[in-house]
A and B are shown apart, each in its own frame.
Chain A
């Protein structure tokens, strides 16, 4: 009886309008482009104070940003994994994530570059798949 009442309460809770989902379609935007690149090592550096730098701040650094669309990035742990892996790259100054848009915006250090292949390898190393790359 206790089991049935618990199960019933659970179903009612899950079916409650309060938990109705806000469905949003997210199209796949952007095309993958080829770009010139330089080789960089996989050296480590300290994370910056904030793991959640605003995309707008990064996008303001014109010419040094790469926006990557990622498949499989559905949660905060996914985003954190990508941030940690990308920030270990010598060429990367900072990373911003949008779970809504499924994008990772990479701010490159002055004078540094990352090839599409390097970015794709890093995304894969974090456990995800690259869908598209757009360079500013």
Chain B
């Protein structure tokens, strides 16, 4: 699959940074549900399609164009709900996300090559109908290189919507990527205010980061 085609696919929607971040809303859905997610920011675009087999496991395919690192990741992804705490007025979750595949591109060296790649991330969230918190930490590894990333989000809902109505959240996301090459235009720490809207099976997020990068994420479940 050409890099141009990948970019075209990913341009269907969008995400915050190495999109294993916090932006992956509900990484495990309900049994037999398909989820299509697109993530996009200026130099990082991803498409993830996954299928939930049990209330605790989802399996999918991921394509991620990592512009700053000048390569595309193609691989499989497994999302596992490690623990859920259901309370009368809130819910908390602990997730593990694992991926493995191939990274293909120039890697900012000028020589096109393919390398084995993989990632692991632990993510946690807590929410009620008014407030949302989440945090995640992960590692992305390509032969000979390892990148770590931490993210956090806080959000508030200006109103509590009923089932089927438009739900709106005002959120702020912080991403920390200590290994990024700032000479390529990336920043180690970015703050992204964003708005999340969801109605029915569709969820959309739009934001703009401190690194002057627009954010657009889209999720659809069926």
Contacts and interface: CB of A to CB of B under 8 A. Distances in A.
* Chain A partners chain B: yes
A80 B170 contact: no
A74 interface: yes
B33 interface: yes
Nearest to A127: B55
A63 interface: no
Interface in B175-198: 187, 189-193, 198
Given A76-B161, A127-B55, A13 B170 contact: yes
Contacts of B203: 77
Nearest to B128: A74
A107 to B, nearest CB: 15
Contact of A76 (B31, B198, B209, B210): B198
B191 A84 contact: no
B130 A21 contact: yes
A3 B191 contact: yes
Query: Majority SS of interface residues in chain B?
Result: loop
Contact of B55 (A9, A77, A97, A125): A125
B208 to A, nearest CB: 8
Contacts of B198: 76-77
Contacts of A13: 170, 172, 193
Contacts of A99: 129, 160-163
A90 to B, nearest CB: 16
Interface in B135-178: 154, 156-165, 167, 170, 172
Contact of B129 (A74, A85, A97): A74
A58 to B, nearest CB: 13
Contact of B30 (A26, A73, A81): A81
A81 B84 CA distance: 15
Given A7-B191, A9-B193, A28-B88, A52 B164 contact: yes
Contact of A22 (B154, B160, B163, B210): B160
Interface string A1-43: 0110111011101100011011110101000000000000000
Given A7-B210, A14-B156, A51 B200 contact: yes
Nearest to A24: B160
Nearest to A1: B210
B164 A76 contact: yes
Interface of B: 25-26, 28-33, 55, 81, 84-91, 127-131, 154, 156-165, 167, 170, 172, 187, 189-193, 198-201, 203, 209-210, 212, 221
Would you list the 9 A-B pairs with minimal beta carbon distance, nearest first? A72-B86, A52-B164, A81-B30, A6-B210, A127-B55, A71-B86, A97-B163, A10-B172, A72-B91
Given A6-B209, A77-B26, 19 more contacts: A2-B210, A2-B212, A3-B189, A7-B191, A10-B172, A10-B193, A19-B170, A21-B156, A21-B157, A71-B87, A74-B128, A76-B163, A76-B165, A80-B221, A84-B32, A102-B89, A127-B81, A128-B86, A129-B86
